[in-house]
Each structure stands twice: as C-alpha cells, then as structure tokens.
Amino acid sequence: MQSQRKLPFYYLTLLILAGEAVFILPFVLARVFRPTFLEVFNLSNLQLGYCFSIYGIVALVSYLLGGPLADKFKPRVLLATALFLTSLGGFVLATFPSFTILKVLYGYWGCTTILLFWAAMIKATRIWGGSNRQGKAFGFLDGGRGLVGACFGLVGVVIFSLFITSEITEAPLTERKDAFRYVIYVSSTIIIAISILVFLFLKDTSKSISEEKIKSFESLKAIKQVLKLPAVWLLMIIILCGYTGYKTTDIISQYANEVMGYDQIKSAQIGTLLLYIRPIVGVTIGFLADITKPSKVLIWGFVMMTLGSSFFASGILNDSLILIFFIAMISTALGVYSIRVLYFAVLKEGNIPLVYTGTAVGMMSLIGYTPDIFAGPMMGYLLDNNPGELGHQYSFGALAIFSVIGGIAAIAFRRISKNTTS
C-alpha cells in the first residue's frame, strides 16, 4: 500500500452521492413515507415485507456474483450503469403498479443495486482510505450517505406537502397519490443526474491501488482463500445483526404514527430526522475509529443498539412520553449507524488482503444482508397480527436479541484481530 497515492476528496463525494441515491427508490421512500407508501400502493405490512424479501433473494445471488465482478471491472462503469438502471424503475413505481408488478420491480432493483454496485462501491471506498484512513473513508461514506438520504427525504416531504392542498387527514387518496408521484419523479430524475456525474468524473483507480496485481484472477480460488479467514465469518454475523437493526429503523416512522399519534406528514418528518442523525454519527465515528481501533467502537455500537431497542420493546412508551421516545430513537440510531460505518472499516484490522476486497465483501454480504429476505416479512407479520404497540414491541424485542448476538461476535472479532496483529 505504500505506493498508493491519495485520491481527491471529490472522488469520495461522488461515491457518497451514488451510494445513497441508488437505494432511494427501493428503501428510503418507503422508510420516510411508510404510512403513505402502504396506503397509496394498497399494501399491508406483510405485503411490503414480501417485496423487500424478493429484493433480498435476488440480492443474495447478486452479492456472490458482484464481488468478483468488482475485482475485474472499473467502478466508474459499474456504478453509473447501476444508478441509471435503478432510476428507470422509478418511472414504473410512479404508475402505482399492482402488487405482482411491484414484486417484480423489487426483484429488478435487487439486481441493479447489488450486482453492479455494492462491492464496487466498497472496494472503491477502501482504495480511497489507503493504509491509514479506513475509519474516515467509511465514516464519511456512511455519514455522507445519511446526509444525502436525509436531503432526499426532506425534499420528498416538501414536495409531498406542496401538492397536498387540504389537511393531510382530509386529503383524498387520489390527491395523496398525485403528491407522492411527484416525489418519485423528482427522485428518479436526480438519480439519473448522479449517474451521469459518476460516469464523467469518477476517476479510474486502476493505477492507484498498488503495485499488487491480480494475475489470472480466479473467482473460485479467491472465494476459497477468503473463507479461510476467521474475520470474514465473524463479520458475516456482525453485518447480519447490524443490518437487522438498520432494517428495523424502517418502522420508526410508522411507530410515530401508530403509537405516538403523529399524522402522516409529521411521521415522515420523524423518519427524515432519523436520517439526519446518520451523517453526524458517521463522520464522528469515522474519526474516532482512526484514533482507536474500529473493532472497539463496533462493540459500543451494539451496546447502544441493545439499549435503544430494549426501550421500544419494553412497552413503556406512549404519546405522553415524547422525550423518552426520542431518547430511544436516538440511542437505536447511534448504535445502528455506528455499526454501519464500521462494517467494512475493520477489513484492514481483520487482515483481509486488498486484492480480495471485492470477493470478501461479496461473501460477507451473502450472509450479512439476509435481513433483506427475512426482516421485512418478519416485521410485517408481527405488525399485522399484533396491531398497535404490541407488534412494535415484538419487532424491537427481536432486534434486542440480534443486538446481543452481534455484540458477542464483535468482541470475538476484536480478540482475533488483536492476536493476528500482535
């Protein structure tokens, strides 16, 4: 890594823009506008969970194939293509298709956002971080992505409220549909613009990686080498538990609506506020991880996630305990977003070779992101069969269990990384 030259900051800025824009349509809109999303598409929580599950099944195969792909082709081409293809799905979404078409659309997004995009983005970020900026690289990436997502959410809320001419509680369904259609159109157009910027300005990093070259790269051989590393197996568990936390944040705006009594616009504002916590946490944790060991901060992330989810699971919250609600939300968010920053910032600490980054990310993601398959239906089932606060208690209770398991895996990872570096 000594021969690597520093890449400019705008390179990381493009990765940040691309890294969140590609997930706006499949996830961010449904997270910020969940009550509205369910209503305008006439979906139950379980049906929306099935859409996420189909996305996850397609993504599962895409993680496996996309890792080696990222080790062979330029990030610029892969990322720009993924963004453009994802944006096209937005124009289908804006027609408010049937449940069947919606499931096909989520399967399509599972391919465009993962096969071409995910491992390429992680590898490009690791390259930018070099030998001593891994915490900052992934901190800026996830924090920046959070800021981009929050901005999309804020723009969406503003657009949605502009086209609601009467009180939200009195607005007819057709008016809410028209308003949400504009939100989708604007989001899709911005994603296309970002894809063009990435294609034109993201530098080719092939000369910046190092003088270590991949000679006759064999995907199967690389997979075997990666699976010999204990750190990879522990990171699979860590990502799985942390990502379950991230998926559970999807229902916080719904919690605000159903338990705390906020209307659809105010609950969307709660969802957007949650997104604004992410960039603050991302940048702060990124700097902190470069001062200390990222694995140590990772453990504390799971502690915070356990505390926050336990508050929600306890059943003590109601519409008169607004301060406690925000404490629980912020604690959960601090934990979830801290863990997200450090998923891949610990690759170097775990002694995973740069040359195998794409393949390692693909293998870890194969298991780690399975919540895309099971988390949506699980929460949908719990919420639909236990209306009101009880369903939310069960959902956050499940998260508390995952938080404890993830914390144990993080402690084990720290111990083996200390042993291998000493």
Note the pLDDT of residue 342: 87
pLDDT score of 95: 96
Structure tokens at 393: 């208690």
pLDDT tens digits for range 112-141: 999 989 888 888 887 887 766 777 888 888
Per-residue pLDDT at 84 exceeds 70: yes
Over residues 20-51, the pLDDT tens digits come to 999 999 988 988 888 889 999 999 989 998 99
Domain boundaries, the chain: 9-204+218-421
| Percentage of the chain exceeding pLDDT 90 | 36
CA-to-CA distance for 380 and 205, rounded, in angstroms?
42
Tell me what pLDDT residue 167 has.
67
Q: How far apart are the first and last CA of the chain?
A: 20
- Of the pLDDT bands very low, low, confident and very high (cuts 50, 70, 90), residue 151 is confident
The class (CATH top level) of 9-204+218-421 is mainly alpha
pTM > 0.85: yes or no: no
- The model's pLDDT over 162-200, given as tens digits with 9 standing for 90+, comes to 887 766 666 778 888 999 999 999 999 999 999 999 999
Q: Which is more confident, 213 or 170? A: 170
Q: How confident is the model at residue 285 (pLDDT cuts 50, 70, 90)?
A: confident
Residue pLDDT, tens place only, 305-358: 999 999 899 888 777 788 888 898 999 999 999 998 888 888 878 877 777 777
What pLDDT does residue 287 have?
82
Q: What is the pLDDT of residue 244?
A: 94
Q: What's the confidence (pLDDT) of residue 207?
A: 47
pLDDT higher than 50, residue 231: yes
Q: Could you tell me the pLDDT band of residue 421, with boundaries at 50, 70 and 90?
A: low
Q: Which residue has the higher pLDDT, 72 or 84?
A: 84
Which pLDDT score is estimated for 271?
Answer: 78
Q: What is the pLDDT of residues 237-272, one digit of tens each?
A: 999 999 999 889 888 888 888 888 888 778 888 877
**Residue with more model confidence, 54 or 215:** 54
Cα–Cα distance measured from residue 76 to residue 53, given in angstroms and rounded to the nearest whole number: 29
pLDDT of residue 204: 59
Main-chain phi, psi angles of 180, to 5 degrees: -70, -30
Classified as helix, coil or strand, 271 is helix
Q: How far is CA 214 from CA 62, 113, 202, 209, 350, in A?
A: 22, 25, 22, 11, 21
Average pLDDT over residues 290-301: 86
- Rounded to 5 degrees, φ, ψ at 281 are -65, -45
Instruction: Say whether pLDDT at 202 is over 70.
Output: yes
Judged on CB neighbours under 10 Å (0-12, 13-18, 19+), 99 is middle
The answer on pLDDT for 75 being more than 80 is yes
Would you state the pLDDT for residue 169?
61
For the stretch 345-399, pLDDT in tens is 888 788 777 777 777 877 888 889 899 889 888 998 998 898 888 898 999 999 9
Q: How far is CA 122 from CA 26, 40, 344, 418, in A?
A: 19, 35, 8, 24
Distance, in Å, from the CA atom of 147 to the CA atom of 282, rounded to the nearest integer, reads 10
Model confidence at 218, pLDDT cuts 50, 70, 90, reads: low
